[in-house]
């Protein structure tokens, strides 16, 4: 969540979600984020696209299908949080919340399209770890 550059160092103080976005095919997480030079934390909402990010990671990258309704719910919760955490990190690296203001990190399209390949590379690099985590916590 941080790197050597102190201006990019941040701390996640709290995370709430996932919430189902009412008019979008997405889940969202609300992060309370602090930086050493800020007097108070700021809010960062991160949206995870259900088809383009969550299902892509679950089915295409991880090859997960099947399981009970409860197992699928748990897997979706775990994966959407993993994706949201990584999008938060990529947003920080991209300078999206360097200034002290509330931010929304949406879908990686249009002006954020340059971050999509980074997210896909992260998914590929983390697939073995995430599969093992799912096996242990959801039994799939």
Contacts of residues 67-76 at CB distance under 8 Å and 24 or more positions apart, as own/partner, are 67/138, 67/139, 67/140, 71/138, 71/139, 71/140, 74/137, 74/138, 75/134, 75/138, 75/140
Q: Which domain does 45 fall in, by range? A: 6-138
28 belongs to a structural domain: yes
92 belongs to a structural domain: yes
53 belongs to a structural domain: yes
pTM of the model: 0.91
87 belongs to a structural domain: yes
Specify the number of domains making up the chain: 1
The span from the first CA to the last CA of the chain, in angstroms, equals 28
1 belongs to a structural domain: no
Question: Is the per-residue pLDDT at 81 higher than 70?
Answer: yes
17-49 tens-digit pLDDT? 999 999 999 999 999 999 888 889 999 999 999
Question: Is the per-residue pLDDT at 3 higher than 60?
Answer: no
């Amino acid at each position: 969540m941080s790197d050597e550059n102190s201006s990019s160092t941040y701390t996640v103080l709290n995370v709430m979600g996932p919430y189902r976005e009412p008019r979008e095919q997405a889940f969202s997480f609300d992060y309370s984020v602090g930086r050493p030079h800020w007097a108070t934390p700021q809010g960062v909402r991160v949206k995870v696209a259900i088809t383009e990010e969550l299902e892509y990671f679950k089915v295409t990258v991880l090859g997960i299908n099947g399981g009970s309704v409860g197992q699928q719910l748990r897997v979706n919760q775990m994966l959407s949080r993993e994706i949201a955490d990584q999008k938060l990190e990529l947003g920080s690296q991209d300078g999206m919340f360097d200034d002290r203001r509330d931010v929304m990190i949406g879908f990686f399209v249009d002006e954020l399209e340059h971050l999509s390949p980074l997210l896909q590379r992260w998914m590929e690099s983390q697939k073995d770890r995430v599969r093992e985590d799912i096996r242990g916590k959801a039994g799939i």
